[in-house]
Structure formats: structure tokens, C-alpha cells
Amino acid sequence: MYPCITRLQTILALLYSTMLSRGHTCPSRCLCPDHHTVDCSGRALTHLPGPFPLNVRRLLLANNWISWIPSDFLLLYSDLVYLDLRNNSLSQLEPGTLSTPFSRLVFLDLGGNNLTEIPSGSFGESRSLIKLRLGDNPYLSAVGPRAFQGLSSLRELGLERNGLSDLDVGALEPLASLRTLRLEGNPWACSCRFAKLFAWLTEHRDKLPTGEEDSHVTVM
């Protein structure tokens, strides 16, 4: 009676079963200790292996040579909560890659890569994000004034040992939940902007208390 709908249902059923069967594949060079974790750390990978199970929540890709993430990656793996890309060869993030609406990411480690810039709007409205590690990117010298906009739940931000000579204080303003900020090991220039940053850090000492174990701010 409704051939279109019947056909659509068939397609959906097919799609669903493909997704289900794909849901249990593990990329050949990786380990899948449970249904939601894929561990491909230290496998000398030069690009993302895949496909990953579509319902992957924890994806461990540290210590590889991965230089590129497709911009629809988080759209495809929308259940991802924990993404560890530490110590890879990423030099830039395609616009939109990390600003996926409805992202569930809570933990993102991009430390130890070769990033040069964190452009404004990089993380869109990643309201779930709690820990963001961007340290040890020695050429990272530019952080856009609205680079961290939308990160309203972010508690920990690591920008240590990068190539920052200054940082626009405005970039930190949207981080209402920030508890730990790491800025040490950057080649700060004693500019006006740095003076403003220093004043901001002093002023927000209460926001970044030093007493608790998980809360501190380190600059030098």
C-alpha cells in the first residue's frame, strides 16, 4: 500500500544489520578488550586503522604516526567519550572535525603532536568535554581568541611546553568550569598581552584554587 515506506523499512533494516555486524569488528592491528574499547596504541600506524565498531566509546591511538583525522570522524563515531591521540603526527585539525554537534567526548588528548594552531571555534559546542590536553606541541604558537568557546564543562586544560609567546585572555573567559590550567614551558614574551594574562591568572586564583590536589595553575 505504501511501497516507499516498505522500501525504506527494508533499507533501514539492512543498514541496521550492517551496523550491528560492523559493531563487533576489531581493526586487525588493534585490541578490543571489551565491546566499547579499541586499543591501537603503539602500533606504528601512519593513518587511522578502521573501520572501528560504530559504538566505540574509548579509542586509544597514542604513540603512532597518525597525521590526519577525517572531518566526519566524530560524526561517524558519535558514541566516543574518550579519545587518546597523544604522541602522533597531527599538524592540523580539519575545520569541523572536533566541533561536531552532540559530541559526547569527555576526554581528548592531542598532546605530543605537531599542531601549530588552535583556531577559533575548533571545539564547537563540546559541552561534555572535561579534559583537553594540547601540551607538548612545540610549534603550537597560535590560539584563536575563541578557540575554547563552548567548552563550558572543561575542568582541565593543558597548554604546557608549546610554542606560545602570548595568549589572549579572552580565549580563557568561556571556561567557566576550569580548575586546572597548565601553561608552563612556553617561551612567553613579556608583552602587553602576557601582562594581561598574568593579571587574569592572578585575579582568577580563586577560580583555580591551589589547595586541592586536582586544581592548580602553572605558568612558568
Residues of this chain that bind ligand NAG (CB under 6 A): 42, 63, 87, 89, 91, 114, 116, 139
Of 93 and 129, CB closest to ligand NAG: 93
Q: Report the alpha-carbon distance of residue 105 to residue 137 in Å, rounded.
A: 21
CB neighbours of 28 closer than 8 A, spacing ≥ 6?
Answer: 49
Q: Report the alpha-carbon distance of residue 10 to residue 81 in Å, rounded.
A: 31
Of 66 and 151, CB closest to ligand NAG: 66
CB of 180 to ligand NAG, least distance (A): 21
CB of 87 to ligand NAG, least distance (A): 4
Of 57 and 161, CB closest to ligand NAG: 161
102 near 76, Cβ under 8 Å?
Answer: no
86 near 109, Cβ under 8 Å?
Answer: yes
CB of 172 to ligand NAG, least distance (A): 25
- Phi, psi of 20, deg, nearest 5: -65, -45
Of 84 and 156, CB closest to ligand NAG: 84
Of 66 and 201, CB closest to ligand NAG: 66
Instruction: Kindly state the cell numbers that stand for 139.
Output: 610549534
CB of 217 to ligand NAG, least distance (A): 24
CB of 63 to ligand NAG, least distance (A): 4
Residues facing 82 on adjacent strands: 58, 107
Name which of 89, 84, 70 is nearest 133 in CA terms.
Answer: 84
Site of grid cell 612558568? 220
Of 133 and 179, CB closest to ligand NAG: 133
Distances in Å between the Cα of 47 and the Cα atoms of 69, 179, 184 are 8, 34, 31
CB of 205 to ligand NAG, least distance (A): 32
CB neighbours of 214 closer than 8 A, spacing ≥ 6?
Answer: 156, 179, 180
